[in-house]
């Protein structure tokens, strides 16, 4: 039914992105080729100092995989909640003028409920870092 | 910039969702109380006042609804219904909210939960319950069920002293969200098969040959599975005993009454409303759910010694009895609604009594703990006995009449085998409920301790017991109301 | 344009992976991710059907489901953190106090 090879091919050749595709291909080929050649001819003498983590010239103190404090989770949780509720505002924003004052009041009530939650979290000290 | 788009809010729509608004405002009020006061007594006093006002407002606004000629009305852009059926369940949930405020207070404080936090989460859950009975499309149904479940996931693990609460919360959350996802995928398939999420539109599509579409069939099966989880019917009951036992008793009471009634309200609206044509496609699946729920629930309850687990298993069995009504005609549906009301009143009373027994931090756990309760506390034991007899289905209580209606409609519509199975399993039910009654009245070695009951708690418990007895002796008035509520469904 | 059947197949496969993940994995965080996967597979199905029927219903539902999924993830993570503080583990095998 859908003839992929020809469709894909014609799309590729006809499209204005074709030159960019060629550029992309050569960029990958050159970068990959140099790495490949280097792995044959390059010299390798690893030691402890070379292998250590580089952090802007500052000596590393602890392992990167350590436990995060619980307050990171609290902030992350609150962020997820208030962040995603914004998704519900997009349709309103697109039709802002056509929905008029009534729509504005409705969204105002919705936001008031969310802000109520934010104030509650604030008052309860969920946003305090120390 | 284009023509203005009017919002789909008609005059009268806000009155029609009055109970919902009352509960949401009460929930926001609880949060405000928690922020405004620092002293615990003030917080507690205002929590109680706001809660009672919210429940009373919900009941009053439910009664203010103009039901006109008794036909269903679609409100808020055809997203919700407003009819006698919603008024009926609104009153039931408002009553539950009041009963929870009065009866669960002791248990909430015993579990070291803050009443203001407990009741604000519970109020959001109640808002979801008020939505389930009025959902008019699949999106409203999904949102209502999520709104009702999410606060309860938190509440189950809310008691910081409890060793088992967090585990119960985890199990409830994982299994509950899987059920929600299954429900949602079912809704997606249903939408794909018909191109609509409206009950009315769906009903028209299904009755005009939607049977051929595998998408519709698979969607129906998945939606039914999701709903069966929420009401705790076999084979989606696995969470019930563990979660009921592990959660604080105040939360268990909410799950056994509110969540179950809300799930049933949604299921009855979905299967007996405009979508009634779809019921014939899933009737075999429903038949097995009913039969297995009755057998597994009653057999499981017989083996339990823990009172909360016993009530959990028995609630599985009751879900089976109630769903049996849906297999019949409109009389069967009415019987299911009647049974739901009786079940909610009896369980609210039973858990209300259980919450007061206990010593300090400890609650009574096993059946043997209730030994000799009647000697020391005769009145409350009498009330407990009335609720248990109603759950067992012994006259002159409402439970007997409800079972009579359900089995009667099943026999009338040809489900004789199922009705027989129902009667047989009810006999098992009598055995384990009477075990508790015998422990209280016939044995006298134990010394169960009773927390102090406030006069309001006595009044509420007494009213619950009186209504359970009234539903058994004079079933006519509620039966008439329920029948007209069910007529407005279609 | 590829047929909607292919999008549907992807959505069903994702849903299956989600269910399998919940049933077989023991790490709570992986179970949480599997639940999110199930919700989002339903979202993909909604969008496909929305395109197929030429309606907006499905897209509206998808936005609602996204917010519900976020709330569910927040509650799930909170419960996992609470359980971790109690048992010091995020494996579901540790949660075995309630049996019977």
Q: Is the pLDDT of residue A125 over 70?
A: yes
Query: Is-contact B319 B467, C-beta < 8 A?
Result: no
- Supply φ then ψ for residue B209, to 5 degrees: 90, 25
Shortest CB distance from B5 goes to which of A95, A113, A120?
Answer: A95
Three-state DSSP at B315 gives helix
Q: Which helix (H) or strand (E) element contains residue A77?
A: helix A70-85
Q: Give Cβ neighbours of residue B126 (< 8 Å, ≥ 6 apart).
A: B23, B93, B96, B97, B258
Q: Is the pLDDT of residue A61 over 90?
A: no
Interface contact flag, B34 A99, Cβ < 8 Å? no
User: How high is the pLDDT of residue B1?
Assistant: 55
The CATH homologous superfamily to which domain A6-123 belongs is: NADH:ubiquinone/plastoquinone oxidoreductase, chain 3 (1.20.58.1610)
CA distance A24 to B221: 49
Residues of A in contact with C79 (CB under 8 A): none
Which among B117, B255, A88 has a CA at the least distance from the CA of C71? A88
Neighbours of chain B (3+ CB pairs under 8 A): A, C
Neighbours of chain A (3+ CB pairs under 8 A): B, C
Question: Would an 8 Å CB–CB cutoff place B154 in contact with chain C?
Answer: yes
Residues of A in contact with B7 (CB under 8 A): 99, 102-103, 106
Each residue of A81-124: pLDDT tens digit? 888 888 888 889 988 888 888 889 989 988 988 888 889 988 88
Average pLDDT value over all residues in chain B: 90
> pLDDT above 90 covers what percent of chain B?
60
Q: Is the pLDDT of residue B402 over 90?
A: yes
Each residue of B163-194: pLDDT tens digit? 788 889 999 999 999 999 999 999 999 998 88
Q: How confident is the model at residue B211 (pLDDT cuts 50, 70, 90)?
A: low
Q: For residue A11, what is the nearest residue in chain C, using CA coordinates?
A: C1
User: How high is the pLDDT of residue C1?
Assistant: 46
Q: Which residue has the tokens 């016993």?
A: B310
Structure token pair of residue A92: 């309103």
Q: Is the pLDDT of residue B330 over 90?
A: no
Which of A92, A116, A127 best probes binding to B when mutated, by most B CB atoms within 10 angstroms? A116
DSSP code of B76?
A: T
> pLDDT above 90 covers what percent of chain A?
7
Query: Is-contact B339 B321, C-beta < 8 A?
Result: yes
Interface contact flag, A98 B4, Cβ < 8 Å? yes
Interface contact flag, A77 C74, Cβ < 8 Å? yes
User: How high is the pLDDT of residue B94?
Assistant: 96
Shortest CB distance from A73 goes to which of C60, C71, C77?
Answer: C77
Q: Which helix (H) or strand (E) element contains residue B151?
A: helix B138-156
User: How high is the pLDDT of residue B126?
Assistant: 96
Each residue of B223-239: pLDDT tens digit? 999 999 999 998 888 89
Question: Where does residue B472 fall: left (phi above 0), alpha (psi -120 to 50 degrees), or beta otherwise?
Answer: alpha
pTM: 0.88
Query: Is-contact B26 B123, C-beta < 8 A?
Result: yes
Chain A: which residues have CB within 8 Å of chain B? 95, 97-100, 102-103, 106, 113, 116-117, 119-120, 123
Minimal Cα–Cα distance from C70 to chain B, Å? 12
Question: Would an 8 Å CB–CB cutoff place C88 in contact with chain A?
Answer: no
Each residue of B98-107: pLDDT tens digit? 999 999 998 8
Q: Which helix (H) or strand (E) element contains residue B80?
A: strand B80-82
Q: How confident is the model at residue B159 (pLDDT cuts 50, 70, 90)?
A: confident
Shortest CB distance from A99 goes to which of B5, B28, B34?
Answer: B5
The b-or-e profile of B389-406 (16+ CB within 10 A means b, else e) is bbbbbbebbbbbbbbbbb
Question: Would an 8 Å CB–CB cutoff place B465 in contact with chain C?
Answer: no
Q: How confident is the model at residue C87 (pLDDT cuts 50, 70, 90)?
A: confident
Name the residue range of residue C86's domain.
4-98
Look up the CATH number of the domain holding residue C90.
1.10.287.3510
Please state the domain count of chain C.
1
User: How high is the pLDDT of residue C100?
Assistant: 43
Shortest CB distance from A98 goes to which of B3, B31, B35?
Answer: B3
Each residue of C33-84: pLDDT tens digit? 999 999 999 999 999 999 888 888 899 999 999 999 999 999 998 888 888 8
CA distance B281 to C99: 36
β-bridge partners, B357: B450
Interface contact flag, B178 C22, Cβ < 8 Å? yes
Each residue of B133-142: pLDDT tens digit? 999 999 999 9
Shortest CB distance from C67 goes to which of A2, A84, A91?
Answer: A84
Query: Is-contact B219 B187, C-beta < 8 A?
Result: yes
Tell me the average pLDDT across A9-35.
78
CA distance B118 to B108: 8
Interface contact flag, B166 C86, Cβ < 8 Å? yes
The domain spans of chain A are 6-123
HSE-up of residue B191 (Cα within 13 Å, Cβ side):
33
Question: If you write DSSP's letter for every residue of B435-471 in order, what string do you get?
Answer: HHHHHHHT--S----BPPPPHHHHHHHHHHHHHHHHH
Question: If you write DSSP's letter for every residue of B35-47 in order, what string do you get?
Answer: HH--SHHHHHHHH
Shortest CB distance from B143 goes to which of C18, C45, C64?
Answer: C64
Q: For residue C90, what is the nearest residue in chain B, using CA coordinates?
A: B170
For residue B467, the tally of other CB atoms under 10 A from its CB is 18
β-bridge partners, B198: B137
Question: Would an 8 Å CB–CB cutoff place A2 in contact with chain C?
Answer: yes
Q: Are strands B80-82 and B73-75 parallel, antiparallel or unpaired?
A: antiparallel
The sign of the dihedral angle between the CA atoms of C30, C36, C42, C44 is: negative
CA distance B426 to B424: 5
Q: For chain B, what's the residue count?
A: 490
User: How high is the pLDDT of residue B448?
Assistant: 78
For residue B351, the tally of other CB atoms under 10 A from its CB is 26
Q: Give Cβ neighbours of residue B166 (< 8 Å, ≥ 6 apart).
A: B157, C79, C82, C83, C86
Minimal Cα–Cα distance from B139 to chain C, Å? 7
Each residue of B32-82: pLDDT tens digit? 999 888 898 899 999 999 999 999 999 999 998 877 777 788 888 888 998
CA distance B314 to B297: 5
């Amino acid at each position: 039914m859908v003839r992929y090879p020809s469709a894909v091919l014609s799309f590729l050749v006809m499209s204005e992105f074709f030159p960019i595709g060629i550029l992309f291909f050569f960029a990958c080929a050159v970068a990959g080729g140099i790495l490949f050649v280097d792995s044959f001819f390059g010299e390798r003498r690893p030691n402890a100092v070379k292998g250590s983590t580089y952090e802007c010239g500052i000596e590393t103190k602890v392992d990167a995989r350590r436990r995060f404090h619980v307050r990171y989770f609290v902030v992350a949780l609150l962020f997820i909640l208030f962040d995603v509720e914004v998704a519900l505002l997009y349709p309103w924003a697109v039709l802002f003028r056509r929905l008029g004052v009534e729509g504005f009041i409705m969204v105002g009530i919705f936001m008031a409920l969310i802000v109520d939650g934010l104030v509650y979290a604030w008052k309860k000290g969920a946003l305090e870092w120390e | 910039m284009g023509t203005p788009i009017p919002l789909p809010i008609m005059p009268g729509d806000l009155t029609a969702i009055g109970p919902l608004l009352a509960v949401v405002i009460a929930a926001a009020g609880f949060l405000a109380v928690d922020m405004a006061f620092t002293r615990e007594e003030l917080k507690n006093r205002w929590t109680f006042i706001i809660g009672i006002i919210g429940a009373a407002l919900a009941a009053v606004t439910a009664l203010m609804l103009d039901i006109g000629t008794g036909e269903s009305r679609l409100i808020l852009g055809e997203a919700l219904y407003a009819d006698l059926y919603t008024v009926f369940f609104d009153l039931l949930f408002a009553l539950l909210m009041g009963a929870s405020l009065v009866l669960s207070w002791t248990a909430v404080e015993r579990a070291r939960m803050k009443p203001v936090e407990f009741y604000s989460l519970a109020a959001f859950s109640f808002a979801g319950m008020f939505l389930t009975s009025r959902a008019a499309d699949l999106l409203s149904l999904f949102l209502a069920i999520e709104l009702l479940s999410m606060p309860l996931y938190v509440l189950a693990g809310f008691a910081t002293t409890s060793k088992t609460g967090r585990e119960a919360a985890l199990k409830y959350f994982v299994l509950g969200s899987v059920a929600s996802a299954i429900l949602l995928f079912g809704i997606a398939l249903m939408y794909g098969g018909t191109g609509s999420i409206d009950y009315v539109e769906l009903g028209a599509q299904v009755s005009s040959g939607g049977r051929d579409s595998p998408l519709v069939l698979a969607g129906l099966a998945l939606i039914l599975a999701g709903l069966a989880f929420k009401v705790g019917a076999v084979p989606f009951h696995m969470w019930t005993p563990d979660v009921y036992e592990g959660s604080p008793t105040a939360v268990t009471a909410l799950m056994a009454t509110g969540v179950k009634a809300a799930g049933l309200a949604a299921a009855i609206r979905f299967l007996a409303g405009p979508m009634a044509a779809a019921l014939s496609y899933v009737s075999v699946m429903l038949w097995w759910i009913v039969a297995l729920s009755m057998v597994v629930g009653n057999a499981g309850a017989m083996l339990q010694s823990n009172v909360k687990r016993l009530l959990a298993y028995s609630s599985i069995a009751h879900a089976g009895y109630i769903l049996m009504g849906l297999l019949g005609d409109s009389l069967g549906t009415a019987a299911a609604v009647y049974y739901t009301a009786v079940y909610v009143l009896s369980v609210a009373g039973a858990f209300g009594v259980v919450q007061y027994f206990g010593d300090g931090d400890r609650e009574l756990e096993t059946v043997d703990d209730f030994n000799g309760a009647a000697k020391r506390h005769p009145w409350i034991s009498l009330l407990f006995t009335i609720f248990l007899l109603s759950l067992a289905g012994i006259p002159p209580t409402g439970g007997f009449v409800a079972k009579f209606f359900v089995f009667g409609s099943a026999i009338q519509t040809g489900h004789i085998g199922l009705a027989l199975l129902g009667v047989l399993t009810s006999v098992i039910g009598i055995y384990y409920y009477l075990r508790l009654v015998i422990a209280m009245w016939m044995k006298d070695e134990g010394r169960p301790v009773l927390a102090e009951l406030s006069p309001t708690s006595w009044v509420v418990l007494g009213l619950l017991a009186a209504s359970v007895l009234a539903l058994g002796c004079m079933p006519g008035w509620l039966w008439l109301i329920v029948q007209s509520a069910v007529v407005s469904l279609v | 344009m590829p047929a909607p059947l292919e999008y549907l197949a992807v959505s069903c496969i994702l849903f299956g992976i989600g269910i399998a993940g919940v049933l077989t994995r023991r790490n709570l965080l992986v179970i949480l991710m599997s639940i999110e996967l199930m919700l989002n597979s339903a979202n993909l199905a909604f969008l496909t059907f929305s395109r197929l029927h030429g309606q907006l219903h499905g897209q509206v539902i998808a936005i609602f489901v996204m917010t519900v999924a976020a709330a569910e993830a927040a509650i799930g993570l909170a419960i996992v953190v609470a359980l971790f503080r109690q048992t010091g583990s995020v494996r579901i095998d540790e949660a075995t106090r309630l049996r019977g």
